[in-house]
Structure 1
Amino acid sequence: MARLGSFDRLSLNQITTERWSLREAVEGCVRAGVPWIAPWRNKVAEAGLSESRRMIQDAGLQVSSLCRGGMFPAATAAERQARIDDNRRAVEEAAELGAQVLVLVCGPSPDRDIDRARGWVAEGIDQLVPFAREHGVRLGIEPLHPMQAAERSVVVTLGQANTLAEQFAAQDVGVVVDVFHVWWDPELYSQIARAGERILGFHVSDWIVPTPDMVLGRGMMGDGVIEIRRIREAVEAAGYNGPIEVEIFNRAVWDAPGDEVLALMKERYLEHV
């Protein structure tokens, strides 16, 4: 299996060093020689949008994506419109930061009608596409693990995400492949091939056994059971050669010194990705 020989594609998804401010994450990337960063909107808001753009550009970093938009389903039309408005703000933020991709975590159902919620997701993306196109931002649908359907997203397989994305032009809407969420899927490799040019992002971490927590239980690459390199090779065979984000939700990782996390991240990236 082919190994990655350099860090040219490596991106720090900011949640991996959640205790760091955006400035600290930017400075940490510079010290570690990590060329890409994926900011989270709450960290951008803390620093201010213009200041966030300035500090990232001054550091010479590139922005792989902005996390996150989505969360489309809601109980009332007014709430759903408010979420569309927030997604438009997210698109503007992505454009200002130079991120070509806004990651969509599509949202849970507000009630028991999961089919209707999935319809609201499609409607929300449809409303967002023209605005995103005007700003040069592509929308990346990230399917989440089925265990998160009730709390975070009704889009739970790559096949679902592909079907949803295919309702729109490929230059507008694609998918994000996060190994933590999709590694288990018996249709994974056929769906990666199906996605092809629509793959807009690739996120890596690992699935720890036993799994401590469905949200905060991700491991550093190599600490779990995911065939990360095989998945990486599959997305490359499908045509994706963009940045690779390390996205780890884990309190023990968050509590560790950030520079140590980045050093381990680089080591495991070469070894397991």
Structure 2
Amino acid sequence: MRSRAFALTHPHSSGTALPTYSFMQPRISAFPKCYLEQIAGPQPTMTVFEWIEQSRQLDADGLEMYDGFFRSLEPAYLDSVGAAIEATGRRMPMLCCSPDFTNPDADARKRAVDKHIQLIEVTKRLGGAGAVCRVLSGQRYPEVARQQGIGWVVECIEQLIPIAREHDVILGIENHYKDGFWKYPEFAQKQDVFLELVSAISERKHFGVQYDPSNAIVAGDDPLDLLRHIADRVVSMHASDRFLAEGTTLAELKQNDGTLGYSPNLRHGVTGRGLNDYDTIFRILAQHHYTGWISIEDGMNGMGEMAESLAFLRRKIAEHFA
């Protein structure tokens, strides 16, 4: 089985590059979906530093960040965030970002590209070479036709690939539902649109897929079918699980567009106990020699469940990636 090397180099440290480590197994990161509003909302009640400190209780190798967690993109501030992460003995392998590349306003799309160039630089500064910077397609504006939207997204991402290559950062497009601060759901939420978009971008070293099986369920699609189509392009993964409320079926939750959305009858819970078949997911990833990061996106029912989810991932990684 081949391994992937991660360079742990942080400009905010002493200036000396840390060694490059090669891991034979996927590594686990933690993302505080439970605290998204508290840290990144319009009236924050928690800082990213408080989350970093609280994360010490979790068995994770890394901490995924969200660009909305940062109060500034100034080097001194970012270095203080990086130093706080390093103080826990971890790194930032993934930066969660939500660019809107389908905005009908060409100037807005340009601003989104320019902002993402900054975030690629942030990813390199905090995560080092090989870190993943998430990209999305954008919002599903009612007036934007499918082919027009795909064209805009491809155009924007292809502008970013040379920047990602320069910084040795990987762009990971997620099969997403909806950024919490967006008006409309994801343009490429449905599998057929997502696959068409991914296949339109030929770059494979600095662009790939951030796979999220729970988002496939929310889209009304089969997570395993999606994975079989994109397994050779997965560069990072979000792990969580969904549970149906008692007496509810998936068919009952489907909306007119075939998606489920964030129905109150589709609930969060401990990863590995819900609708996702993680044994098959990990078996497919192992067959494709996956050695990237798996980020637990959880905690909606408390940190105790996040700890249980992380323990589940540890067991399954040891079982399937030995």
State the superposition RMSD in angstroms: 3.2
Does the aligned pair in 1 maintain the 2:30–2:64 contact within 8 Å?
yes
Q: Percent identity?
A: 20
- CA deviation string 1:200-259 (max 9, x = no partner): 111111122137971884333144222122212212222212221111373xx2xx3x4x
Given the superposition, is the C-alpha separation of residues 199 and 158 from structure 1 closer, same or farther in structure 2, using an over 3 Å criterion? farther
1:138, distance to aligned residue in structure 2 (A) = 0.9
Q: Identify the residue that residue 124 of structure 1 maps to in structure 2.
A: 156
- CA deviation string 1:7-66 (max 9, x = no partner): 972210132444453223322333333211101111133693221112112322022210
Q: Is 1:36 matched with 2:68?
A: no
Q: Identify the residue that residue 270 of structure 2 maps to in structure 1.
A: 220
Q: Identify the residue that residue 9 of structure 1 maps to in structure 2.
A: 27
Query: C-alpha distance in 1, partners of 2:26/2:284?
Result: 19
Q: Identify the residue that residue 51 of structure 1 maps to in structure 2.
A: 80
Unaligned stretches of 5+ in structure 2? 1-24, 39-45, 246-252, 254-259, 318-322
1:271, distance to aligned residue in structure 2 (A) = 6.4
Query: C-alpha distance in 1, partners of 2:269/2:136?
Result: 20
Q: Is 1:136 matched with 2:168?
A: yes
Does the aligned pair in 2 maintain the 1:13–1:245 contact within 8 Å?
yes
Amino acid at match of 2:154: A
Count residues in correspondence: 259
Query: C-alpha distance in 1, partners of 2:288/2:98?
Result: 25
**TM-score under structure 1 normalisation?**
0.80
Q: Is 1:208 matched with 2:234?
A: no
Correspondence 1:97-116 to 2 at 5 A = 97-98=126-127, 100-115=131-146, 116=148
Correspondence 1:152-171 to 2 at 5 A = 152-157=185-190, 160-166=193-199, 167-171=201-205
Amino acid at match of 2:262: M
Does the aligned pair in 2 maintain the 1:23–1:55 contact within 8 Å?
yes
Unaligned stretches of 5+ in structure 1? 1-6
Q: Identify the residue that residue 21 of structure 2 maps to in structure 1.
A: none
1:266 to 291, 297, 310: 310
Given the superposition, is the C-alpha separation of residues 145 and 213 from structure 1 closer, same or farther in structure 2, using an over 3 Å criterion? closer
Q: Identify the residue that residue 3 of structure 1 maps to in structure 2.
A: none
Q: Identify the residue that residue 26 of structure 1 maps to in structure 2.
A: 52
1:174, distance to aligned residue in structure 2 (A) = 0.3
Query: C-alpha distance in 1, partners of 2:228/2:82?
Result: 35
Query: C-alpha distance in 2, partners of 1:249/1:32?
Result: 11
Does the aligned pair in 1 maintain the 2:59–2:310 contact within 8 Å?
no
Say which SS state the counterpart of residue 140 (structure 1) adopts.
Answer: strand
Amino acid at match of 2:203: A
**TM-score under structure 2 normalisation?**
0.69
Query: C-alpha distance in 2, partners of 1:142/1:91?
Result: 16
- CA deviation string 1:166-213 (max 9, x = no partner): 423201210011010225635x54653443442111111112213797
Does the aligned pair in 1 maintain the 2:298–2:306 contact within 8 Å?
no
Q: Is 1:195 matched with 2:243?
A: no
Q: Identify the residue that residue 6 of structure 2 maps to in structure 1.
A: none
Q: Identify the residue that residue 236 of structure 1 maps to in structure 2.
A: 286
Q: Identify the residue that residue 175 of structure 1 maps to in structure 2.
A: 209
Query: C-alpha distance in 1, partners of 2:35/2:186?
Result: 23
1:75 to 79, 104, 107: 104
Correspondence 1:242-257 to 2 at 5 A = 242-248=292-298, 250=300, 253=301, 256=302
Amino acid at match of 2:138: G
Amino acid at match of 1:56: I
Does the aligned pair in 1 maintain the 2:98–2:136 contact within 8 Å?
yes
Query: C-alpha distance in 2, partners of 1:215/1:37?
Result: 28
Does the aligned pair in 2 maintain the 1:196–1:239 contact within 8 Å?
no
